[in-house]
Amino acid sequence: MGIGKNQPEMMWDNSDDKISKEAFVSVENQGSGPDAITQLLFIGDVPYPSDEEGTNYADNDDISGIYDPERDTEVEEVVIEPGEQITLYSYRSPFAFVRGEGTSCESEEQNGEFEVILETQVSSNQLSETYNIHYSASGEFDNCEITFSEG
């Protein structure tokens, strides 16, 4: 898992300004059959989360939050074959600072946590990973450094 701003070389186009607000997630299907990832969610202390604190699509099954660089659009799902490892890209800008939404930069350093959740077709459970997040101090609401580690 990473942020385009911090690791542009991992994104589909490291020259595009939009990638700085997006995230990537590496996923491997360790099962014996194919599966489809139907939603990529960021819940918690991210700048623009997927719940009612931000983009508000967490409860909408018609919105995946997954970007397909080959089609240059949001896709309904991504199929992953057994043993296959792929990189998913966010579409709904979870690391965009939007005034009045989610978490913004402040004059003091901030710490929190967030969860990356994958909804899948085959598994009845969500797949999730929790991360600790740190925001550096900044005098501007949208100009701090973000670092994170697995929680």
Which tens digits make up the pLDDT trace of 26-58? 999 999 999 999 999 999 999 999 999 999 999
Compute the distance between CA of residue 88 and CA of residue 37 in angstroms, rounded to an integer: 9
pLDDT number for residue 15: 64
Residues 6+ apart with CB under 8 A from 17: none
Q: For residue range 14-26, what is the model confidence (pLDDT) as tens digits?
A: 667 779 999 999 9
Sorted by where each begins, the domain ranges of the chain are 2-96+115-128
Which CATH number applies to 2-96+115-128? 2.60.40
pTM: 0.93
Compute the distance between CA of residue 132 and CA of residue 64 in angstroms, rounded to an integer: 24
